[in-house]
Every structure is written in C-alpha cells, then in structure tokens.
Amino acid sequence: MVEAELLSLQTSKAAERTPNVVAARGVSLVFESGGQRVIALAGIDLTIAAGDFVSLIGPSGCGKTSLLRAIADLEHPSSGELLVNGMTPAEARKRRSYGYVFQAPALYPWRNVVRNVMLPLEIMGLPRAERLARAKHYLGLVGLRNFAEKFPWQLSGGMQQRVSIARALAFEPKLLLMDEPFGALDEITRDTLNLHLHELWRRTGTTVVFVTHSIPEAVFLSTRIVVMSARPGRVIDIIDNDLPLTRDLSLRETPEFLAVARRVREALHAGHSYD
Amino acid sequence: MAKARATWPLIAIGLAVIGVWYVGAILLNGPQVREQAAEDMGFRDFVVQTWSMERPVLPAPHQIVTELAQSLFTHSVTSPRNLLHHAWVTASAALSGLGIALALGLMLAAGIVHIPVLDRSLMPWLIASQTVPVLAIAPMVVVVLGNLGITGLLPKAAIAGYLAFFPITVGMVKGLRAADPLQIDLLRTYDARPWQVFSLLRFPASLSFLFPNLRVAMTLALVGAIVAELPTGAQAGLGARLLAGSYYGQTIQIWAALLMAAGTSMLGLAAVSLIEALVAQRRGGRL
C-alpha cells in the first residue's frame, strides 16, 4: 500500500520533470460514412515528451493524419483518453497551445506573405507593431524576409509551404503539428526544407509531431519514429532514433542512418504482413 | 496592336447593326411614306423621306442621335426636357435599390450559409419570388407603400432591389461557401470566433463570386427602376419618359430614352468594373 503510493509519487515527480506534451491512452476513432464504419484509429497508446521530434509514419489509411487531427481537436476520439499539455485537446486548442501545418500551404490568396503570417496574431489580438515585428522575424527564420510583400501566387510551392511554417511558428506555440508538409514538393526542395526544419527545431526546442510517408525524412528529422499500420490504424512499433542531434544531409549516407532506416522499413513491412 | 485587333471587330459589328437599322427603317416606314405621298417620287426621295419622318415606326439612327443631343445640350441639366435629369432620377432609384439588394442579399446569404434550417427553408421561397413578373408586382408595391405614406424614391428602390437581391444572394451563398476546408480548419486551430471566420475568411473569399453577380444585379436594378416608373404615373425618370413617348406616339423620344437607359447601365457596369479593379489591386492584382 505504502509502496504503491510511493511509486505513484515517484512517477508523478517524473512526470513533472519531463511533462508529456501528448499522452494518448487507448485512443480510438471511428468514422461513420455512408452507413459504413471505418476504424481510423484503434487503441493508440503514445506519449510524446517536451522537446521531442516525433514522426508518424505508415501507409495511406493508417490514421496518422487522423491522430494528428485528434491531437489538434479537429477530430474527436470515439473512446480512450487523449491529453495535450495535460488538458483535453479542446482546452489545449482554446489556449492556442499548438501550431498546425497542413499538407497544402492553405495561405489566404488575398493576403500578401507578411499579412498571412500575421493572421493568427491578428486573431489573438496582438498590437499591430508586434504583429509586424514577429511576422518579419519568423519570415527571416524560414529565409523569406525579402518576400514579405509578395502574394502567395507569386511564390513557388516550397516557398508557400515555408510561409505556412512561419505562420505556425509566429505565435510561438510549444507544440508544432505538421501533416506531411513537404509531401507535394520535389526531392531537392524537400531536402532543403528538411534541413531548415531540423535547424529550426534545434534552435527553438519546440516539440514537433510530424506526419510523413518518407522513411529518410522521418529518420533524418526525428528523435522517435512511430510506425503505424492500416485497417485498423494502430501503432505497431516505436523506434528511438539515437543519431547525433546535429545533423546535415550527408548523415543520410552513413551506416548508422541506414541502420535506423532499415529498422523502420522492417517495421513497416511487418505491419503490412498482417493483411 | 492587340488592342487594334480587339477594336476592329467591335467597330465592324457596330457598323453592320447601323446598316441593318437604316435598311429596316426604309422597310418599316415605307408604307406610311407611300400613303402620304401625293404623286410618284424618285427612289432617292423615298429613302430620304423614310429616314426623316416625324413619327416613324422605326426612327433612323441619326434621328435618335439628334434628339438625344438636342435634349442633352440645349436644355439645362435640371430641366425636365433634359434626358440627363430623367436618367439621374432613374439611376438614383436603381442605386438605392442596389444598396438595399446588397444589404438584403448579404444578410440572407450569411443566414443560409450559417443556419442549416434557413438553407432548406429559404431558398425555394427566394426562387419563387423571382418567378413573379415584376410588371405585375410593381403597381402593388407602389400602392401598398403609398398607403403607408411612403412615396417617391423608396417604392422604386424597393422594386429595383426586389429584382437585384436575387443574383447577389445566390452569388454570395456560393461565395461564402467557397473557402477551402483547410483554411477553415486553420482558423479553428486558432480558436477564431465565428465572426472572425466570417470577416477574415468567408467574406474575402466570396468577393470573386460577388462581382460577376453584381454586374447582373446592376442591370436588373436599372430595369426594375424603369419598370417601377411605368405604372406609377411618375413625372420624371426614363420610365416616365418612355411612357409619355408611347402615349403621344413620339417614337424618336422613346428610342432616345432607350439609348439613354443603355448608356446609364453601361456607366453602371463600368463603375462595378472600376471597383472590382480597385479591390483586385489591393489584393496584389488578383481577385
């Protein structure tokens, strides 16, 4: 009895030391569409600690986007417990605890670049001078300082996605949720943006949850890789990535990198053999 | 170069229309000329006669232009003999009607987009409202409003607005729904209030749908204002001018008023285009 209390005290202390930004226990998500039940997520258990860079990887339909949207309170779990910063996702959303980067840039075409980045700050009611200063700062961070007055259609796809990242960073959330942000981009742009994002994460210490299809991308960016499988969407493996935290693109040719990549690939294949 | 290429066909069609018009004037006015002519006349005299009658079936273009020029330049702008005076009376009713239509259309569209019950219950009524001929409803509106002590500009504006609100409502419903679902999700992640979603996303996204429908509404408002002047015994306005012309068989006066109405509506369309261009300019050149 006393031992159990002690144990719980210890675990709660441990929780204080490294508070979990995301804690999912038995999270399931069932859609009803056209009379059919689709199990998007089945019994997801996952904790993400502050400062982690966690990739969700898996085949199409494995629920990685659904999980991200559930964390963002854009979908509502059918069962299970999901906490973001120790709060329900709805509370966390109302406190604007996370920034979300979608698959498409989702910029507002009638606003120029800097006004797009200022959008969340406008909604939060920041004074005008600070809005502008912050937007300029984060545009600089993604290398677009000189494009502030351009309109979205005047930028390439990669630049638009960088604007959307600056927009997500601009209100300085502790948690960044990214849903295949580089999925639609060509390989070279993607490499550059991976490097950008890695440096950004190192500099800001933001917790990142990152959805991707790409094994090299997941291994290059992450501290932990969550491998998921489809029908029903579930977590089949969580791989700790012990590669050094200072990374550049040449890392991808090293045996250590390839070893982690192989582990991810094997886990993905193991998930497929269930079918 | 490109401009010239676009201008020539325009001029060619204009000349063709005028040519057909003159021929039509000969054919339509011919019988009347022959009836009145005492003796045989040469073909040349006959043609000139058909183009210079006092009350022709179809006035020749130069007769209409002369009448228009005389009306515009020999009388003061405030005189009831000046068509500008009448055009302004009608245009002010049309513009007021367009204002009513914009306010009503925007309100209806916002309601339809945000309240599911309205979406199902309101749209059939709006469509039904447009199947009632405006010519039938205009006198009733004037009588009812007159009984309430409302006369002058407002009944005409109400009828103009009645015609113009429909395209605006339909366009705005489509426009307010045009926002990308991702852009709506984005505002949700910022915990934006509903009015912020409207003012920051839905309304700006709807503008590219508003302007084409605003052009339709502009011409309808003018038609509505003219029609509203017909049954009300109005003293001024292009509609009153048309009616007076037809009472006294003054066909040239009717056509001059028609031309003035066409000019007014083109001016209105140009104004809409100008506003559209200014809005587009603020948005980096695209709407």
Query: What's the pLDDT at B153?
Result: 87
> Edge-to-edge strand order for the sheet containing A224-229?
A98-101, A175-179, A207-212, A53-57, A224-229, A234-240
Tell me whether residues A109 and B186 touch, CB distance under 8 A. no
Q: Which of A196, A197, A204 is nearest to A172 (CA)?
A: A204
Query: What's the pLDDT at B265?
Result: 95
**Dihedral, B244, B250, B251, B253 alpha carbons, nearest 10:** -70
Chain A contact present for B181, CB below 8 A: no
For B201, the closest chain A residue by CA position comes to: A108
Report which secondary-structure segment, H or E, holds A50: none
For B196, the closest chain A residue by CA position comes to: A123
Average pLDDT, stretch B249-268?
A: 93
Give the C-alpha separation, B280 to B204, whole Å.
11
Give ∠ CA B73-B79-B83 in degrees, rounded to 5.
60
Query: What's the pLDDT at B38?
Result: 65
- pTM higher than the cut 0.90: no
CA distances from residue B197 to B118, B181, B203, B205, B259 in whole angstroms, order as listed: 19, 12, 9, 11, 45
CATH topology of domain A21-97+222-275: Rossmann fold (3.40.50)
Tell me whether residues A100 and B185 touch, CB distance under 8 A. yes
- As a whole number, the mean pLDDT across chain B is 90
Give the C-alpha separation, A158 to A153, whole Å.
12
Q: How far is B189 from chain A (nearest CA, A)?
A: 6
For residue B130, is pLDDT > 50?
A: yes
CB B94 within 8 A of CB B160: yes
Report which secondary-structure segment, H or E, holds A73: none
Give the C-alpha separation, B57 to B243, whole Å.
16
Tell me whether residues B189 and A72 touch, CB distance under 8 A. yes
Q: Which amino acid is at B246?
A: S
Query: What's the pLDDT at A15?
Result: 44
Residue tagged 């210079």 (tokens): B52
Higher-confidence position of B178 and B235: B178
CA A89 from centre of chain: 15
Give the C-alpha separation, A148 to B152, whole Å.
52
Structure confidence by residue, pLDDT tens digits, A209-246: 999 989 999 999 999 999 999 888 889 999 999 888 88
Query: What's the pLDDT at B142?
Result: 83
Query: What's the pLDDT at B67?
Result: 92
Where on the phi/psi map is residue B285: left (φ > 0), alpha (ψ -120 to 50), or beta?
left
Structure confidence by residue, pLDDT tens digits, B266-286: 999 999 999 999 999 988 877
Q: Who among B185, B192, B207 is closest to A123 (CB)? A: B192
SS3 (DSSP) at A204:
helix
Give the C-alpha separation, A266 to A83, whole Å.
30
CB A90 within 8 A of CB A65: no
Q: Which amino acid is at B93?
A: A
Query: What's the pLDDT at A4?
Result: 52
Taking 3-state DSSP, the helix, strand and coil percentages for chain B, each rounded to the nearest 5, stand at: 80, 0, 20
SS3 (DSSP) at A214:
coil
Query: What's the pLDDT at B66?
Result: 93
Give the C-alpha separation, B103 to B111, whole Å.
12
Q: Which CATH number fits domain B83-282: 3.40.190.10, 1.10.260.40, 3.30.465.10, 1.10.3720.10?
A: 1.10.3720.10
Query: What's the pLDDT at A273?
Result: 54
Chain A contact present for B183, CB below 8 A: yes
Domain ranges of chain A: 21-97+222-275
Give ∠ CA B256-B257-B261 in degrees, rounded to 5.
120
Phi, psi angles (nearest 5°) of residue A165: -70, -40
**Secondary structure of B75-101 in HEC code, one letter for each residue:** CCCCCCCCHHHHHHHHHHHHHHHHHHH
Give the C-alpha separation, B191 to B222, whole Å.
44
CB B162 within 8 A of CB B223: no
Find the helix packing angle between B43-50 and B2-36, rounded to 10°: 110
For A154, the closest chain B residue by CA position comes to: B284
pLDDT grade for B1, boundaries at 50, 70 and 90: low
For B287, the closest chain A residue by CA position comes to: A110
Average pLDDT, stretch B35-45?
A: 80
Domain ranges of chain B: 2-58, 83-282
Q: Which of B158, B142, B127 is nearest to B225 (CA)?
A: B158
Tell me whether residues B188 and A108 touch, CB distance under 8 A. no
pLDDT grade for B3, boundaries at 50, 70 and 90: low
What residues of chain A score a pLDDT lower than 70?
1-18, 272-275
Q: In b/e form, how buried is each residue of B96-119, taking b as 16+ CB within 10 angstroms?
A: bbbebbbebbbebbbebbeeeeee
CB B112 within 8 A of CB B259: no
CA distances from residue B149 to A239, B95, B145 in whole angstroms, order as listed: 81, 22, 6
Query: What's the pLDDT at B143?
Result: 84
For residue B166, is pLDDT > 70?
A: yes
Query: What's the pLDDT at A18?
Result: 55
Query: What's the pLDDT at A12?
Result: 47
